[in-house]
Structures are given as structure tokens and as C-alpha cells.
């Protein structure tokens, strides 16, 4: 509120920490249904990509584009608008996400659960559930734990499009316009410069929001274990 003479002028100030929405894009190297995990009504990013998980905020978008390993270069594997951000302990303890915990003798979608970390105050250490990121015998994969817990944040979406192995080709002019390149690491773009890409997804697939439109590319290997130490998958 600013007062000048007899006039009282109301000025609405935008909070200094209110950032404009952004778009994060990266190449999906493997797609088991683990990162992201599109099951049980939510698309979640709870492991891998610590750089995105630490900095992305509610209302930002994350898009995973296929690469050479999946033979899907330039295709949209998933797109999620972040509607909630939490941390590992809250994710682990929240009954709403209990079904995201892995069950290693369960169905494929239970095998690949991504709710795998919580910090134990008594042991003063992170605990890792038997999962896609543990060792095959259920013991802790230290390399994965150290990489994943670089950020203890979990991105959650109730506004997502998961295409999996039915991934559509993104029109090349939309990628060219924002300067997206198919390379290692993630890219970040102001959402206002990438709005045409978001509009294309919403227009073409808006009626299929929050649905799984295809199985993960690697769903047949849902029982597998991955280690960042050697970048290998073991079944």
C-alpha cells in the first residue's frame, strides 16, 4: 500500500519467491514404469533425475522424450504437470501412496513401485526397500541410494499423460522452436516459450489425461534391477 498526499493507492505486489512455471525435458533412456511411475492414479518421479526433483516446483511441467535405446527418438513417453511436491519420508508414510511401495512378489506394477526410501532416525541413515534400485537379493544398492538421495524430493502429478510404448511423435517444429536437442542431461525452458508444445499435448490428448495409454517400453522386465554404478540392468 502506497500513500501519496490525499490519495491512497493500493499496489498488489507479487511474492518475490513466486517463480514463473518452467518446462523440464530429458531423454528417457529406459522405461520400466519406475521413473516415472504412472500407476495407481498418479504419475510420480521419486528416483533418478535428482536435479529435476530438487528444483522443479508445483505448476512446472516435466516431459520425457524417447531416445535411441528405446528406438523412440523424438517421441513423447510422458508429460506431467507437477501438482504436488513432497519429500521421501512423507511419501513413504502417506497412506495415499502406500500402493506405490514395491511388492517384489506382486504384479508387474507392484514390482516396479517407486516409494522406496525413508530416513530412519534411530539408525541415522536412509533405508532402501527391496526394489528396482536395490540389489537382487533386496540388500541396499549403495550407488543408487547415494545418487537418488542427492535430492529427497518427490514430484507428484494428477495432471499427466503417460504414453509408454504408444508414444506419439512430437512435431519437429515444436521441438525446433524451443531449441530442444536429444542429448544427455535435462534441459529447462521458460513455460511461456514452450506453451505451443504443452498446447499440442493438451489439445490432442486432453480427454486421455491421467490414463496409461500404453505399457512401459520395458514392462516385460519389471522384475529387473538397475545399478547406476555400471549402468546395467540385471534380471
* Residue range 191-223, pLDDT digits in tens: 999 999 999 999 999 999 999 999 999 999 999
Q: Whole-angstrom Cα distance, residue 165 to residue 162?
A: 9
Residue 97: pLDDT above 90?
yes
Query: Is 102 part of a structural domain of the chain?
Result: yes
Summarize the confidence of residues 70-88 as an average pLDDT.
Answer: 97
Query: Is 160 part of a structural domain of the chain?
Result: yes
Q: Work out how many domains the chain is built from and give that number.
A: 1
pLDDT the model gives residue 134: 98
- What residues does 116 pair with on adjacent strands? none
Residue 177 structural domain: 19-234
How confident is the model over 151-205, as pLDDT tens digits? 999 999 999 999 999 999 999 999 999 999 887 789 999 999 999 999 999 999 9
Query: Is 87 part of a structural domain of the chain?
Result: yes
Query: Is 35 part of a structural domain of the chain?
Result: yes
pLDDT the model gives residue 38: 98
Average pLDDT, rounded, for the chain = 92
Residue 149: burial class (beta carbons within 10 Å; 0-12, 13-18, 19+): middle
pLDDT the model gives residue 18: 63
Query: Is 7 part of a structural domain of the chain?
Result: no
Q: Whole-angstrom Cα distance, residue 115 to residue 90?
A: 10
Query: Is 1 part of a structural domain of the chain?
Result: no
How confident is the model over 1-53, as pLDDT tens digits? 434 444 433 334 444 446 799 999 999 999 999 999 999 999 999 999 999 99
Summarize the confidence of residues 59-65 as an average pLDDT.
Answer: 98
Query: Is 115 part of a structural domain of the chain?
Result: yes
pLDDT the model gives residue 181: 84
Amino acid at each position: 500500500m502506497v500513500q501519496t498526499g490525499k490519495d491512497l493507492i493500493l499496489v498488489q505486489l507479487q511474492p518475490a519467491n513466486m517463480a514463473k512455471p518452467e518446462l523440464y525435458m530429458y531423454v528417457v533412456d529406459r522405461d520400466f514404469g519406475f521413473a516415472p511411475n504412472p500407476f495407481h492414479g498418479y504419475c510420480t518421479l521419486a528416483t533418478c533425475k535428482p536435479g529435476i526433483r530438487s528444483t522443479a516446483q508445483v505448476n512446472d511441467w516435466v516431459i520425457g522424450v524417447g531416445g535411441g535405446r528405446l528406438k523412440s527418438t523424438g517421441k513423447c513417453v510422458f508429460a506431467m504437470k507437477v501438482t504436488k511436491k513432497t519429500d521421501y519420508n512423507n511419501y513413504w508414510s502417506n497412506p495415499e501412496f502406500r500402493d506405490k511401495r514395491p511388492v517384489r512378489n506382486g504384479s508387474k506394477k507392484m514390482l516396479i513401485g517407486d516409494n522406496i526410501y525413508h530416513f530412519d532416525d534411530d539408525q541415522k541413515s536412509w533405508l532402501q526397500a527391496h526394489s528396482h534400485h536395490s540389489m537382487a537379493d533386496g540388500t541396499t544398492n549403495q550407488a543408487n541410494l547415494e545418487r537418488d538421495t542427492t535430492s529427497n524430493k518427490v514430484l507428484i502429478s494428477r495432471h499427466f499423460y503417460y504414453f509408454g510404448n504408444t508414444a506419439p511423435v512430437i512435431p519437429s517444429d515444436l521441438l525446433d522452436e524451443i531449441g530442444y536437442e536429444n542429448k544427455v542431461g535435462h534441459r529447462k525452458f521458460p513455460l511461456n516459450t514452450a506453451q505451443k508444445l504443452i498446447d499440442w499435448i493438451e489439445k490432442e490428448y486432453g480427454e486421455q489425461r491421467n490414463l496409461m495409454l500404453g505399457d512401459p517400453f520395458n514392462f516385460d522386465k519389471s522384475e529387473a534391477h538397475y545399478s547406476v554404478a555400471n549402468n546395467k540392468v540385471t534380471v
